[in-house]
Structure 1
Amino acid sequence: MALATASKVKPKPKTEEAKVFTWEGTDRRGTRVKGESRAANINAVRADLRRQGVNPNKVKAKPKPLFGGGRKKITGQDLSLFTRQLATMMSAGVPLVQAFDIVGRGHENPAMQDIILSIKQDIESGTAMSIAMAKHPLYFDDLVCSLVAAGEQAGVLDVLLDKIATYKEKTESIKGKIKKALFYPAAVIVVAIFVTVLLLLFVIPQFKELFSGFGADLPAFTLLVIRLSELLGEWWWALLGSVGLFVYSIIYVFKRSRTFREMIDRVSLKIPIIGPILNKAAIARFARTLSTMFAAGVPLVEALQSVSGATGNIIYQDAVMKMREEVATGQSLQLAMRQRDLFPHMVIQMTAIGEESGALDDMLSKVADFYEEQVDNAVDALSSLLEPMIMVVIGGLVGSLIVAMYLPIFKMASVI
Structure 2
Amino acid sequence: MIQPYKYKAYNAKGRAVRGVVSAANEADLYNQLKSSGMELVSCSPVQKESALGGLSIMRPKIKTRDLIQFFMHLEQLQAAGVPMLDSLADVRDSADNQTLKDIMTDVHRSVFDGASLSESLGNYPKVFTSLYVSLIKAGEDTGDLEKSYTQLIKYLKWVDDMQTKIKKATRYPTILLVVVILTIVVMMGVVVPQIVGFIKNLGQELPFMTTSLMATSEFFQEYWWAVLAAPIVLFITYKTIRKGSEGFAYTMDSWFLRMPIAGVLIRKISIARYSQTFGSLFSSGIDVINCLKSAKKTVTNLALIEALETVEARVQAGAPLSQAFNSSGEFPTLVIRMIKIGEESGNLTPVLMQVSEFYTKDVDEAVQGLITMIEPMLTALLGIMILWIAAGVFGPIYASFEHINI
Deviations 1:111-169 (A, max 9, x none): 22212221111011110111111111222222221221111011001111110121122
Structure 1 contact 290–303 (Cα < 8 Å) conserved:
yes
Q: Which residue does the alignment assign to 1:61?
A: 43
TM-score by length of 1: 0.84
- Give the CA deviation at 1:69: 9.1
Within 2, Cα distance between the matches of 1:174 and 1:107?
24
Within 2, Cα distance between the matches of 1:128 and 1:51?
17
- 1:162 and 2:150 are equivalent in the alignment: yes
Cα 1:104–1:388, aligned 2, differ >3 Å: closer, same or farther? farther
- Give the CA deviation at 1:275: 2.8
List aligned pairs for 1:81-160, cutoff 5 A: 81-160=69-148
User: RMSD value over aligned CA atoms?
Assistant: 3.0
From 370, 386, 405, the counterpart of 2:358:
370
Counterpart amino acid of 2:315? V
List aligned pairs for 1:44-59, cutoff 5 A: 59=41
Deviations 1:185-225 (A, max 9, x none): 65554432321121011111111111122111111110111
Structure 1 contact 262–314 (Cα < 8 Å) conserved:
yes
Deviations 1:20-64 (A, max 9, x none): 32349xx8xxxx94522665465456657777898x6x8213899
- 1:310 and 2:291 are equivalent in the alignment: no
Cα 1:390–1:119, aligned 2, differ >3 Å: closer, same or farther? same
TM-score by length of 2: 0.86
Within 2, Cα distance between the matches of 1:156 and 1:118?
24
- 1:408 and 2:390 are equivalent in the alignment: no
**Structure 1 SS opposite 2:248:** helix
Q: Which residue does the alignment assign to 2:281?
A: 293
Counterpart amino acid of 1:36? V
Structure 1 contact 180–379 (Cα < 8 Å) conserved:
no
Q: Which residue does the alignment assign to 2:334?
A: 346
**Structure 1 SS opposite 2:2:** coil
- 1:21 and 2:26 are equivalent in the alignment: no
- 1:240 and 2:256 are equivalent in the alignment: no
Structure 1 contact 22–62 (Cα < 8 Å) conserved:
no
Q: Which residue does the alignment assign to 1:218?
A: 206
Structure 2 contact 6–45 (Cα < 8 Å) conserved:
no
Counterpart amino acid of 1:61? C
Counterpart amino acid of 1:225? L
Identity of aligned residues (%): 28
Within 1, Cα distance between the matches of 2:37 and 2:282?
45
Within 2, Cα distance between the matches of 1:212 and 1:283?
58
Residue-pair matches, total: 393
Cα 1:279–1:176, aligned 2, differ >3 Å: closer, same or farther? farther
